Amino acid sequence: MFSIFIILAMLTSGFLAEPTPGYDPTDPSQVAESESSENEQDDPGLGGPTVDQDTLDPRQGRRGEMMADGMANLSVEGLLEARCGQCHGPRKQKAGVQVVPVENIFTGPEKDWVVLPGQPEKSSLLERIILPAGHDDVMPPDGPTLSEQQIRQIRTWIQNGADATSAREGSAVSMNQGRRGQGNRQIRPRAWFEAYMGLDLSPEQRRSAMAVTRRIQRETREFHSEWGDRLQQLQKRVEQSGREQNEDAVQLRKELQTIKSKQPDVASAQETLWKALDSDQQAAMRAKLDELKLNRRASRSDRGNTGAKETSEPDRSMDDESRRRLRLLLDERRKVREDRPGNDPDGD
């Protein structure tokens, strides 16, 4: 029990701790979170300042927002086929480049490969997909740009050797889904890891989890030491540039995306831990994620109705059980407010 207490204490106070107030270099789901809680300003623990995504993708508002949900489960090869296959697939090879099937990336002289295994920063494929919308060389040239999650997925694949087998493995997004398969994009990494450590883990699973958290901590410190100041500078300058499309503004956005792609890969760390769970543990984890999502939603609803009668209905997309639990949480919070001193409903 003492060791569990130490682990949880470390997670709540030190894991992914911000080196400077209001700055989070470790949250790869920052963009996805902003879509579901765009105006939420509380809980600064892992939020941090974010770039106005409108400045990154003036045609779509946010990077890849039209494609992020519908393509969340695709493998790397599936993603390349969906977004690049029409021009760089078996039937057509624009500029002589074919990326589907992925084995064709590595035909011909190595100097012509658009992917260099283990070297994402030197791979022209990655260089092109991180460009801002509207750039002459951005890929794909039509439709929304790839989402941050999709870019990270491709970058990780290249970093890990860019082999064909892993390119065909599906994205492990189910680890962040509830029992009905609904995404929990609102869940911050710190809360995710706390929920994981609260499971009934074996000693080996717990040791592995500790090793993963220490690695992420180390990578977080290293990232902030090398890139933190520059990242904050770029965020401010990109915000100031607005929708400008001059060469300087485009280069700023490109550099920003390149640095962001170097952030510690929390998603892969979560995937590693998720795969270590058996089916019962995964079910328990999904239940915890459901509870976290409901609590977060109830908290937002509670803040939005402070000082006013709460008449809004729960999200109709939720199932009956989730709506019932949300109503209970809202009723409890409302009762707590009414019981506070100085809040006499009779006005006495």
188-234 per-position pLDDT tens digit: 788 888 899 999 999 999 999 989 988 988 998 999 999 999 999 98
Are 162 and 190 within one domain? yes
Is 228 within a domain? yes
Number of neighbouring beta carbons within 10 Å of residue 240: 11
State whether 53 and 18 are in the same domain.
yes
Query: Is 234 part of a structural domain of the chain?
Result: yes
Residues 290, 269, single domain; the answer is no
Instruction: Return the pLDDT at 229.
Output: 92
Q: Are residues 289 and 274 in the same domain?
A: no
SS3 290: helix
Assess whether 7 and 26 both reside in one domain: yes
Which sign, positive or negative, has the C-alpha torsion 122, 126, 129, 130?
negative
Which domain range does residue 49 map to?
2-279
Residues 288, 272 share a domain: no
Low-confidence ranges of the chain (pLDDT < 70): 1-73, 170-186, 243, 245, 299-326, 330, 333-348
- Domain match, 136 and 32 both: yes
Q: Is residue 99 part of a domain?
A: yes
The span from the CA of 274 to the CA of 209, in Å, is 10
Do 323 and 236 lie in a common domain? Answer: no
Of 231, 254, 279, the residue at which a domain comes to its end is 279
Whole-prediction pTM = 0.43
What pLDDT, on the 0 to 100 scale, is given for residue 308? 45
Contact 197, 285 (CB under 8 A): no
In this structure, the answer to whether residues 289 and 272 fall within a common structural domain is no
Shared domain check, 194 and 294: no
Looking at the structure of the chain, the number of domains it has is: 2
- DSSP tag of 227: I
Residues 231, 255: Cα–Cα separation, whole Å: 9
Cα separation, 46 vs 191, whole angstroms: 10
